[in-house]
Chain A
């Protein structure tokens, strides 16, 4: 697989939806950019779903990272895609290791 064109979708969610949801999203976006990956991260936090992934977004991607501490909404979108499930905390502390699993 061409790593430069790796297309990733991700969802982040945490218990209160105030901090870690956004911290994890930022880490994944920032690190993916550094690695030259395409990424779109949806947040499911206290303001509800933002930057929502459409079914087309998911279908066009090669892998989905679910960095979630809680059950998320609209899980059915990810039925047919390869999923990497980690905690939000892991995405914050080791974003490179998480992204390495995507490659």
Chain B
């Protein structure tokens, strides 16, 4: 009987090449015939063909059915349904900057007041890039020189070209560590392997007189046309991917000029192109590539994703006819405002110099913060670690600020192959991870396979409910030889770093004892190993949570696998929509369970971490801090935001908040309470980063920009230009210069995270308004809209009153350092001393 399952398509942008290649990658491993039916469009596709999948025109919410028929249909169904429920929904997560979309923000005053020429577009990769504008022209394919081929010759040439391209992608995949490039190459490889493409090509050369190259060009037009006709913008953008793959094929066929004609960049350059394919972008010399100004390429295209990944400022939607007139001239790509600018001189030049200082300032601050150990504002330590699946990710994790590797999954090593890796191969991988991690601890989790994560080489009996079946440590007695080989590889690698070994799916003390016995036996036989390697376990089965006092006598450490723990605790599966409401990490019952685990582990003198998804979700962070965990391990991308959020929390307040949350009735109450309770230390009104003691601002516009930029660098706003806009709106009522060389611009906006005072002392007097005398000291006040009665408002009112006194103004003028200024304000206006 064929296997099948149904689901509602989860991605807002529909089934495009990226998710399709993910499905294909799994389907390809199985012999069964696997078909997807879209019940809305009535179209069907082989799940082994990316192109067919994409052509089903599947949109968000479409009811889909996957039917599997063949010898391994049950295994394939399990693996595919796991992918559909766990991985597919996250396939399209874009970095926040891109998701937010810059749109067409009003131009800041500094640019309005300058003679710069501007082409507006949409920012898709942030940053500012300066260089000479170079037009990128896509090479035309010249088919005239192709000799006539017989059908058989053409077919054979195609076969060889497809093989060569497949090998090319395979080779490139091994050379790439950048995750965006990896994903792109995988999607392109899947397209090149696609049965639909192959069938189409074979059909084309079956006609007499059609050469292999002509067939590829025809296929390119056909499939690119198919994508271009799709309703979703995202699918239309995939046409560039088809062109890239076909161009690779043409190159393999030896067609002249099929390679993208790269203008050799020999100086800092901005590349202008209507539609740049990902391969074209990769072919450009990134040393000189300072920015991209594109016409058609959209924000979700692979080209845009790559630009973000390489931090190349990129603007799309540029009018090519307009911009092409500037070819060869110096230009600026502004990935903040979404524009291309020419004739950047005078005030505009100064504006972009300030922009670059602003971006560099924020980056330096974030890097500084990310490289510091995770600490709350009141000094409590919480180690922030990374969850990884491959050795290639280790450098990125360390660069992002990972203090250790809290979970290294070993499944990747075992997947996608017919035989398990031997001890030697595993040893090399583990050693690579440990060596790259240096003196950082690495927790490597032993094999976590079972009914729900099947393997081709692992023949298991079908289980009615694989999630509750034989998986993780439960499987080890059956694959004892493999488990022992993994332990041996780990022990051998242990001398190359700081290793801890973690066992998944532990339920009972008996299992812990069995694992420990096997581990000690292998250790006794191991010639070279680090005798201090710790053995610990995931806490993901509620029974283990309540057996912790006994487990703590057997094992060295624990890490909470909050995803599975929550499912098993609440008897739900978050992939199934109808139980999602019951499956909430913030539910008081679950928090009580977590509290029990953390307390019991510490009572037993053992280290306790958490490596589930809730660790990376900052709204839960106050609760996790309240638990007093030793570590949380999160995805690489979450490390900097979690550390930054942690730095603003008070551990004392978090513990109090958690205690109150445990008494709540519902998850909603918990979240409302956690959001309301002052778990954050109030940021001081002014800190040293917000006191600009020697500004060279030449105008009111520059002074206001510089002050708003200081708020950005201090991490108090992500939208400095919009804060600036609010300040100018207030200036429109009447100028805020009040004589004596002072001005006090201000606004109320929730675009800042905390009430703020910024001070700027100008080297040269600035003209503030027509009737005002020139200004040398500017005080910017930004108050949150939602603040109706805080101590800050009283302090600012006091400051406003003090400014009316000659003596106070003289002392402000005399303060030479930021520290002296802050001290003066603290004494006179009752400012609190900044605490960090």
Contacts and interface: CB of A to CB of B under 8 A. Distances in A.
Contact of A16 (B738, B739, B747, B802): B747
A26 B800 contact: yes
B746 interface: yes
A45 B733 contact: no
B801 A25 contact: yes
B781 A19 contact: yes
Contacts of B793: 18, 45-47
Contact of B794 (A47, A87, A93): A47
Nearest to A89: B734
B435 interface: no
B159 interface: no
Contact of A15 (B733, B744, B796, B804): B733
Given A16-B730, A69-B733, A23 B803 contact: yes
B788 A18 contact: no
B138 interface: no
B451 to A, nearest CB: 61
B725 to A, nearest CB: 15
Interface string B731-745: 001101011000010
B804 A47 contact: no
Interface in A25-46: 25-27, 30, 43, 45-46
A88 to B, nearest CB: 9
Given A93-B738, A93-B739, A26 B804 contact: yes
Interface string A1-36: 000000000000001101111110111001000000
Nearest to B726: A16
A18 B734 contact: no
Contacts of B803: 23
Interface in A44-92: 45-48, 69, 87, 89, 92
A19 B738 CA distance: 11
Contacts of B672: none
Given A69-B733, A93-B738, A93-B739, A22 B747 contact: no
B830 to A, nearest CB: 14
Nearest to A15: B733
A17 to B, nearest CB: 8
A47 B788 contact: yes
A45 B746 CA distance: 14
A18 B804 contact: no
Nearest to B796: A18
Contacts of B140: none
Contacts of A47: 788-789, 793-794, 797
B523 interface: no
B783 interface: yes
A30 B801 CA distance: 10
A15 B805 CA distance: 23
Contacts of B781: 18-19
B788 A23 contact: no
Contacts of A15: 730, 733
B258 to A, nearest CB: 63
Contact of B800 (A22, A69, A87): A22
B166 to A, nearest CB: 64
A27 B748 contact: no
Contacts of B805: 26, 30
Given A47-B788, A47-B789, A19 B796 contact: yes
B800 A18 contact: yes
B801 A26 contact: yes
A26 B794 CA distance: 14
Contacts of A87: 734
Interface size class of A (residues with CB under 8 A): 20 to 34
A89 B804 CA distance: 12
Interface in B763-811: 781, 783, 787-789, 793-794, 796-798, 800-805
A45 B734 CA distance: 17
Contacts of A93: 738-739
Contact of A23 (B747, B748, B801): B801
B797 A45 contact: yes
A27 B782 CA distance: 23
A18 B748 CA distance: 8
Nearest to A23: B800
A87 B733 CA distance: 12
Contacts of A21: 797, 800
Contacts of B804: 23, 26-27, 30, 92
A31 B805 CA distance: 11
Contacts of B733: 15, 69
A23 B738 contact: yes
Given A69-B733, A93-B739, A46 B800 contact: no
Contacts of B794: 47
A20 B801 CA distance: 9
Contact of A18 (B783, B801, B802): B783
Contacts of B748: 16, 18, 46
A36 B783 CA distance: 36
Interface string B197-222: 00000000000000000000000000
B71 to A, nearest CB: 73
Contacts of B789: 47-48
Contacts of B802: 26
B812 to A, nearest CB: 15
B783 A46 contact: yes
Contacts of A27: 804
A21 B798 CA distance: 11
Interface in B362-399: none
A22 B829 CA distance: 13
A44 to B, nearest CB: 12
Nearest to A46: B793
Contacts of A30: 804-805
Nearest to B755: A18
A98 B783 CA distance: 30
Interface in B461-494: none
Which of B738, B788, B798 has its CB near the most chain A CB atoms (within 10 A)?
B738
Interface string B32-54: 00000000000000000000000
Which of A15, A22, A69 has its CB near the most chain B CB atoms (within 10 A)?
A22
Contact of A19 (B739, B744, B787, B788): B744
Which of B738, B783, B804 has its CB near the most chain A CB atoms (within 10 A)?
B804
B806 to A, nearest CB: 10
B778 to A, nearest CB: 12
Contacts of B738: 23, 89, 92-93
8 contacts: A18-B793, A19-B796, A21-B797, A22-B797, A27-B804, A43-B797, A46-B787, A46-B793
Given A69-B733, A89-B734, 12 more contacts: A15-B733, A18-B783, A20-B800, A23-B744, A23-B801, A23-B804, A45-B793, A46-B748, A48-B788, A69-B734, A89-B738, A92-B804
**Ranked 8 nearest A-B pairs via Cβ:** A26-B801, A22-B800, A26-B804, A22-B797, A19-B800, A23-B800, A15-B733, A18-B746
